[in-house]
Amino acid sequence: MEYNFREIEKKWQQRWVADETYKVSERADREKFYVLNMFPYPSGAGLHVGHPLGYIASDIYARYKRLKGFNVLNPMGYDAYGLPAEQYAIQTGQHPAITTEANINRYREQLDKIGFSFDWSREVRTCEPGYYHWTQWAFQKMFGSFYCNKCHSAQPIEQLVEHFEKEGSDGIDVAQSEELNFTAAEWNAMSDVNKQQVLMNYRIAYLGETMVNWCPQLGTVLANDEVVDGVSERGGFPVVQKLMKQWCLRVSAYAQRLLDGLDTIQWTDSLKETQRNWIGRSEGAEIEFKVKDSDKSFTIFTTRADTMFGVTFMVLAPESELVKELTTAEQKAAVDEYLSYVKKRTERDRISDRKVTGVFSGSYAINPFTGEANPIWISEYVLAGYGTGAIMAVPAHDSRDYAFAKHFNLPIVPLVEGCDVSEESFDAKEGIVCNSPRAGVQPYIDFSLNGLTIKEAIAATKKYVREHNLGRVKVNYRLRDAIFSRQRYWGEPFPVYYKDGMPQMIPSECLPLELPEVDKFLPTETGEPPLGNAKIWAWDTKTNSVVDCSAIDNVTVFPLELNTMPGFAGSSAYYLRYMDPHNPGALVSQEADSYWQNVDLYVGGSEHATGHLIYSRFWNKFLFDLGVSCKEEPFQKLVNQGMIQGRSNFVYRIKDTNTFVSLGLKDKYDTTPLHVDVNIVSGDVLDVEAFRKWRPEYATADFILEDGKYVCGWAVEKMSKSMFNVVNPDMIVEKFGADTLRLYEMFLGPVEQAKPWDTNGIDGSHRFLKKFWNLFWGKDALAVTDGEPSPAELKSLHKLIKKVSEDIENFSYNTSIPAFMIATNELTSLKCTKRAILEPMVVLIAPFAPHISEELWEALGHSTSICDAQWPEFNEKYLVEDTVKMMVAFNGKTRFSIEFPAGTDNATIEAAVRAHEMTPKYVEGKQIVKVIIVPGRMVNMVLK
């Protein structure tokens, strides 16, 4: 019987849909297991063979867990909001919803051909009102919450209001944009608008006037993770810093919990490290410096409190509010000139040329440890957004301060015994402190660090600072609050209207607030976001409904927010929605959440390390505080699948001709390499006729062949249309079948590793499936027989059970495929037809090749899906080795090995080793000292 994969795969894909094979529900009698893929953005280009890699890997795991008896949730959906659909809409006028829908349908068609065990009844799309209802809801909850540093959790804002009414800002320990101080009386006297402004300082979702990454070409602001090397991640356009009023999420409040949580989850070390870097915790001290001849003072942040005696100048960030206060009249012109210079520079300029720039403010600060007056400078190397936007400069022990001091000829005072700072600064945190205070200098305070190690000096200084009220110990994080507004159309609208310039939430029972229609998807002529083009986009507070903008009277009808939410909004809690996707009354019911808990295995790309994977963890922690999610961490184990790269082919055109020369001969000519479509190349040999038809300009191309063939060059590059190296999974499925594709993708190499796609190798996987099929079939009937299997057959099977079970648990699928091949070859040469062997074989291969296994399972007489079969049990006793190998070492060297039948007793072994030693070859007049048995642990046997 032929292995007709086309018929088999079509048949089972239809059967799975008809039988709802993969539909799951909460079942108290079974342990749950939640497998999740990062849901895709449905781009217009469709899927290439790289996309399904992670889906296949997780599908294998999901199917395996189900065979092991778990109730497996394996859902799929779409991250449907995104820039490409909007750009396309701007160019063509086609509504993004239409483009997105078409792309989703294409994705679904492609996915369905690969045979995944997704429960499609749980599909979510972030652009559907039923879904983004809960994105808006979460935003409103964040707006209505503040972060309490004492109880380490989000709390209702009303609690804070109550506190203000009784005690003002006294005694609060909360996350805040800036420190405000007011009494209860002052609070109670504030106007309503004023109170709202104050509360904005504490809300987890707040409207903040902050420096944002503004991308003029995209016409929108971007979050930090969307900016790479000073340009936008999408499109590569320049980004500038701009002060703008934007919605922000107080992610920074969760910095410590985001850091601590990493120790409780099974992610790769490199990904955890990336997140730790991004969060960037640093412990230090804030120390107050008084301004000379003034009652002003300011605070700096330092991690090197031990270097107080080496401060020779101070530096302010150009954007710091202190600049205006501390600039003296004489220096005003110079400072203004410098500020305008800095303003012109983009983020990119700053990164690409790091020249030392700065200007003296005219003021001096008094060092509280030495009493010296240090000049206060202004320089762009100090960042406004970190610490206090002001630093104390210790040029001897900080390379940036050093460069600045050298450039502007400022003094450098070394503080570590024996360090040489004539050429460069000494940044290391090791050594013995000296010059603190300097010898011969009258001490300003009764305090010395001399003789201590740097670590001791840091601790001692912090202690002194705290005890003498000179400042406080402080932990700073690099993690910033997330900018949550985007000036785009195709995103979730904010459920917000404006009254007296202050944002108001529309009542939660009115959610979702649906995205309005617009004529144009571009910003308005007055520079407002695209939603400014919407005619019906005002909120009527009497009817609680969206009405025409012409009705705005700012009494009962108010303008609605024109920004939309960013891409990460919809992807931050989608895993919770899959648990209960159709619930109209809640993001997820308590019952569903307490059953499915969190994602046990999450598979996706590592490029989301500082974006989605941070935001999602933050979002989930917030929902955890609210009691909506029962687990603090959303993704227990995470596997990053490596990218599949393209393997591009090249032809070599002789310059100024239409003649192409084969790879081996190209060095004899002056040639230009050109990408050629990999689909008309087979085994690096070009189909020259197809090439002539490929492009009109090549219709008359001539070729210089070698051995009658045109051999192409190749290179590994990103898989993309412009390189003509995109391989489409549909094509592979059509030619070899989905099972072959699945097997081959797993066989290519470790899931986590990036690797190039090479269609040539797929024959091996296809041949294997045919051999596997032939194990079961005679010429035209099933060849499976009953009867007792032989020890050799049992050994083959159990070796495989052991290997495959371990491999799936460890995600090393690439080594289980060879194990299947070996077992199949062994059983073929044993002419094994025994049901007791073959039936478990079918179950073992089911996660990898679901279609062929269903077909064989049915042929073996089963009426239910193989998904409900049981994973075969491994039994060690069938794996007994026939022989034991001994490595014999004497005189300090491994000399030879001998094999013995398993179970040979020591006396026999000893005799054999002695006899062996007596053979002329090994007699060297020395004593045997050790015998090491292989395999197994080393067993040393001393022979005398």
**Residue 720 near RNA by CB under 7 A:** no
Among 242, 520, 675, 771, binds RNA (CB under 7 A): 771
| Gap between the Cα atoms of 101 and 112, Å rounded | 16
**Pick from 622, 629, 632: which is nearest to 254 by CA?**
622
- For position 938 contacting RNA by CB under 7 A, the verdict is yes
Minimum CB–partner distance for residue 386 and RNA (Å): 4
At its nearest, how many Å lie between RNA and the CB of residue 916? 15
Cα dihedral angle (800, 806, 810, 816), rounded to 10 degrees?
A: 0
Q: Using the rule CB under 7 A, which residue among 302, 327, 564, 805 binds RNA? A: 302
CA distance 677 to 724: 5
CA–CA gap between residue 440 and residue 526 (Å, rounded): 67
Q: Does residue 299 belong to the site contacting RNA (CB under 7 A)? A: no
Q: Map the footprint of RNA across residues 21-50, applying CB under 7 A.
A: none
Q: How far is the CB of 623 from RNA (least distance, A)?
A: 25
Residue 735 in the binding site for RNA (CB under 7 A):
no
| Residue 821 tokens, joined | 């091949």
Q: Which is nearer to RNA, 197 or 299 (CB)?
A: 299
889 counts as binding RNA under rule CB under 7 A: yes
351 binding RNA? (CB under 7 A): yes
**Cα 850 to Cα 5, 18, 732, distances in angstroms:** 11, 16, 17
Beta strands 538-540; 557-559: pairing state: antiparallel
The interface region with RNA, picked from 249-257, 346-354, 866-874, 910-918 by CB under 7 A, is: 346-354
Per rule CB under 7 A, is residue 461 in the interface with RNA?
no
Residue whose CB is less far from RNA, 419 or 822? 822
**DSSP output for 536-587:** S-EEETTTTEEE-GGG--SSSEEEBP--B--HHHHHSSHHHHTTSTT-SS-S
List the interface residues with RNA, window 486-525 (CB under 7 A).
none
Shortest distance, position 664 Cβ to RNA, whole Å: 13
Interface with RNA in residues 666-705 (CB under 7 A): 683
Of 254, 289, 301, 857, the one binding RNA by CB under 7 A: 301
User: Given the complex with RNA, which of 355 and 655 has the nearer CB atom?
Assistant: 355
CB of 610: closest distance to RNA in angstroms?
A: 5
Instruction: Measure the CA–CA gap between 625 and 265, rounded to whole angstroms.
Output: 19
Residues 607-636 that bind RNA (CB under 7 A): 607, 609-610
Within positions 393 to 432, which residues make up the interface with RNA, using CB under 7 A? 394, 398, 400
List the interface residues with RNA, window 216-235 (CB under 7 A): 224-225
- The values of phi and psi at residue 865, to 5°, are -65, 150
The single residue among 120, 386, 444, 669 that binds RNA, judged by CB under 7 A, is 386
The pairing of strands 359-366 and 635-640 is unpaired
Indicate whether 732 belongs to the interface with RNA (CB under 7 A).
Answer: no
Which strands, in side-by-side order, build the sheet including 545-547?
545-547, 538-540, 557-559
Q: How many residues bind RNA, per CB under 7 A?
A: 81
**Which of residues 288, 758, 826, 910 is near RNA by CB under 7 A?**
758
**In the block, residue with structure tokens 């540093």:** 149
Choice from 770, 791, 861, 908 touching RNA (CB under 7 A): 770
Nearest approach in angstroms of CB 188 to RNA is: 38
Looking at 142-150, 266-274, 456-464, 617-625, which segment touches RNA (CB under 7 A)?
A: 266-274
CB nearer RNA, residue 32 or residue 608: 608
**Sequence-distant (≥ 6) Cβ neighbours of residue 629 within 8 angstroms:** 576, 588, 593, 598, 620, 623
- At its nearest, how many Å lie between RNA and the CB of residue 496? 30
Cβ-based neighbour number of residue 282 at 10 Å: 14
Comparison of 371 and 683: residue with beta carbon closer to RNA: 683
Stretch that binds RNA, among 271-279, 442-450, 661-669, 695-703 (CB under 7 A): 271-279
Nearest Cα residue to 720 out of 228, 49, 117: 49
Q: How far apart are CA 844 and CA 862, in angstroms?
A: 16
Three-state secondary structure of 829-880: HCCCCEHHHHHHHHHHHCCCCHHHHHHHHHHCCCCCCHHHCCCCCCCHHHHC
User: Are the beta carbons of 312 and 393 closer than 8 angstroms?
Assistant: yes
**Residue 60 Cβ vs RNA, minimum distance, rounded to whole Å:** 16
Cα pseudo-dihedral 798, 799, 804, 805, rounded to 10: 60
- Considering only residues 904 to 933 of the shown chain, the ones binding RNA according to CB under 7 A are 930, 932
The answer to whether residue 935 forms part of the interface with RNA (CB under 7 A) is yes
From 750, 777, 860, 900, residue interacting with RNA (rule: CB under 7 A) = 750
Of the CA atoms within 13 Å of residue 613, those in its CB half-sphere come to 31
CB-wise, 911 or 938, nearer to RNA? Answer: 938
The residues, ordered by sequence, that sit 6+ positions from 340 with a Cβ below 8 Å of its Cβ are: none
Q: Which of 646, 756, 789, 872 binds RNA (CB under 7 A)?
A: 756
CB of 929 to RNA, least distance (A): 7
Rounded to whole angstroms, how far apart are CA atoms 643 and 376?
A: 50
Using CB under 7 A, which of the segments 452-460, 693-701, 729-737, 751-759 binds RNA? 751-759
Touching RNA, residues 581-610 (CB under 7 A) = 606-607, 609-610
Residue 152 or 771: the one with the smaller Cβ distance to RNA is: 771
Beta bridge partner(s), residue 559 = 538
In 3D space, the residue among 348, 83, 85, 352 whose CA is nearest the CA of residue 219 turns out to be 83
Of 130, 238, 385, 605, the residue at the interface with RNA (CB under 7 A) is: 385
| Site stretch for RNA (CB under 7 A), options 112-120, 209-217, 719-727, 808-816 | 808-816
